């Protein structure tokens, strides 16, 4: 019999409704798996007693025949950057070790309103500043496939949790690929939705927002199930003003037109190239149109860094001066790098962001989807400097952001929905991710395409 912890969210939801599995059993299975896999270090905090109490209430509702939400009784985790009422939200930092929010973030509130049960808070590098999930406050989170390689970041704990069966669903955040990078490293699915589709009111600059909240799960169907509960407008979010409306869906006989971006100015690992090319052959076998496209994304790295470093300097510069001993040295280095930028540099970065948006819009005027690798190489070794240069395929590739994940951060700047899903493994068994990007507010169509493509290959 399949362990309850290994059931998909879709199957678990059906089993709870059929009364063949109770929410209490689902929560106990998740808690047991967290204990069994404690060495992975995926959680900042586990809400065991609270989750058990909520599971009993959820079971009582099932037995009384009450109307149930789409996620009723399903255990889920929340990345430690996102506010959770009554549960510490530390930002992965000793600075906020005692921070207990008084209210749930919008995404958390919507998941709980749909019946999901918070199982705990997952690990993140301090303030999500780097693509490796490690830090002086909690240690290192391990990749369940290979402990010598990173689980990615900054939603590393979330990816590890769902990959290892520690809750069917996870809520991550993505400020430059932070959902999609660990999804690719850990062999799971992660969605960065259209800007504003899932309101994120914690961003300090809502108008210049490039940080997203989004679902992570073991397959596309589960990711879509969670996305549907998180989707919806909120008048407090300037990009979340559009009322809910029927989204475009992929018709049964429809053949999407795919723009295939194999390289974007970067060096590409041979195993990654083989896997994503094979995925595109599968798309062609389905009758889809696949056409190579060109788009230089690597050149956006210095402009993206202006946004990242300036934001961290503005938010944390005072903390860095008063208590540097409490911060990760890589975070301090990132903050210090922001001190050299001018207002003109920030404006120029905005101009470049606009130019990238225009180019992507032009591509999507002729293609339904953009497909690319999620990362230029599989999960990197854990002992690398996450801010330093890297090698890919034995060649010097440049600094880690422009070299390893040039495919992800540009779509934070443009606001387009993007999903990473597994599409194969490397020659040493590391998962490889395929990224699909869609038009604004065509998240459902994007997930439909991903689900159909997912069905054509084996999972890692």
Query: CB 88: neighbour CB atoms within 10 A?
Result: 16
> Reduced to 3 states, what is the DSSP secondary structure of residue 170?
strand
Contacts of 113 (CB under 8 A, 6+ apart): 69, 229
Report whether 397 contacts 267 (CB < 8 A): yes
8 A C-beta contact, residue 44 and residue 93: no
Identify the active-site residue in 93, 154, 211, 372.
154
Closest by CA to 402, choosing from 127, 193, 131, is: 131
- On whether the CB atoms of residues 152 and 130 are closer than 8 A, the answer is no
Distance (Å, rounded) from C-alpha 133 to C-alpha 42? 9
Question: Long-range pairs for 201-204 at CB < 8 Å and ≥24 separation?
Answer: 201/105, 201/106, 201/234, 201/236, 201/237, 202/81, 202/82, 202/83, 202/105, 204/311, 204/314, 204/315
Catalytic-residue membership of 274: no
Q: How far apart are alpha carbons 454 and 112 in whole angstroms? A: 28
Among 181, 136, 137, which residue's Cα sits nearest to residue 155? 181
Distance CA 112, CA 86 (A): 14
**Catalytic one of 178, 376, 420, 426:** 178
Helix (H, G, I), strand (E, B) or coil at 434: strand
19 is catalytic: no
Q: How far apart are CA 55 and CA 72, in angstroms?
A: 9
Residue 74 · residue 117 · CB < 8 Å: yes
Rounded Cα gap, residues 282 and 290, in angstroms: 10
Q: Which residues are catalytic?
A: 79, 154, 178
């Amino acid at each position: 019999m399949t362990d309850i912890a290994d059931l998909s969210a879709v199957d678990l939801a059906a089993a709870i409704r059929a009364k063949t599995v109770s929410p209490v059993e689902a929560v106990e299975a998740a808690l047991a798996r967290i204990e069994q896999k404690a060495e992975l270090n995926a959680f900042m905090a586990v809400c065991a007693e609270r989750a058990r109490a909520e599971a009993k209430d959820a079971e009582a509702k099932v037995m009384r025949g009450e109307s149930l939400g789409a996620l009723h009784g399903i255990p889920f985790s929340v990345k430690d950057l996102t506010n959770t009422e009554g549960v510490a939200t530390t930002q992965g930092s000793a600075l906020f070790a005692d921070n207990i929010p008084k209210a749930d973030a919008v995404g958390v509130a919507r998941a709980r309103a749909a019946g999901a049960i918070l199982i705990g808070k997952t690990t993140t590098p301090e303030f999500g500043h780097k693509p490796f999930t490690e830090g002086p406050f909690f240690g290192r989170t391990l990749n369940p496939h290979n402990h010598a390689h990173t689980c990615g970041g900054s939603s590393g704990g979330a990816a590890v949790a769902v990959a290892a069966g520690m809750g069917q669903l996870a809520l991550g955040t993505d400020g430059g690929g932070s959902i999609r990078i660990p999804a690719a490293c850990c062999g799971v699915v992660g969605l960065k939705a259209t800007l504003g589709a899932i309101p994120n009111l914690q961003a300090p600059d809502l108008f210049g927002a490039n940080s997203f909240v989004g679902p992570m799960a073991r397959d596309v169907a589960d990711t879509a199930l969670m996305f549907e509960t998180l989707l919806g407008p909120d008048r407090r979010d300037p990009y979340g003003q559009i009322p809910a409306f029927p989204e475009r869906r992929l018709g049964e006989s429809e053949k999407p037109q795919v723009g295939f971006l194999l390289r974007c100015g970067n060096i590409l690992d041979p195993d990654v190239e083989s896997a994503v090319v094979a995925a595109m052959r599968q798309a062609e076998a389905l009758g889809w149109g696949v056409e190579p496209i060109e788009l230089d994304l690597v050149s956006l790295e210095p402009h993206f860094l202006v946004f990242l470093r300036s934001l961290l300097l503005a938010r944390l510069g005072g903390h860095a001066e008063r208590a540097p001993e409490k911060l990760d040295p890589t975070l301090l280095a990132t903050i210090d790098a922001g001190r050299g930028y001018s207002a003109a540099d920030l404006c120029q970065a905005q101009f470049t962001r606009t130019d990238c948006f225009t180019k992507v819009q032009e591509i999507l005027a002729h293609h339904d989807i953009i497909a690319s690798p999620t990362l230029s190489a599989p999960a990197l070794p854990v002992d690398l400097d996450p801010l330093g240069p890297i090698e890919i395929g034995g060649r010097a590739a440049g600094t880690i952001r422009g070299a390893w994940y040039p495919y992800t951060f540009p779509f934070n700047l443009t606001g387009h929905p993007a999903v990473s899903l597994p599409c194969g493994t490397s020659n040493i068994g590391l998962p490889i991710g395929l990224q699909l990007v869609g038009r604004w507010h065509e998240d459902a169509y994007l997930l439909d395409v991903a689900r159909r493509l997912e069905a054509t290959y084996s999972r890692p």
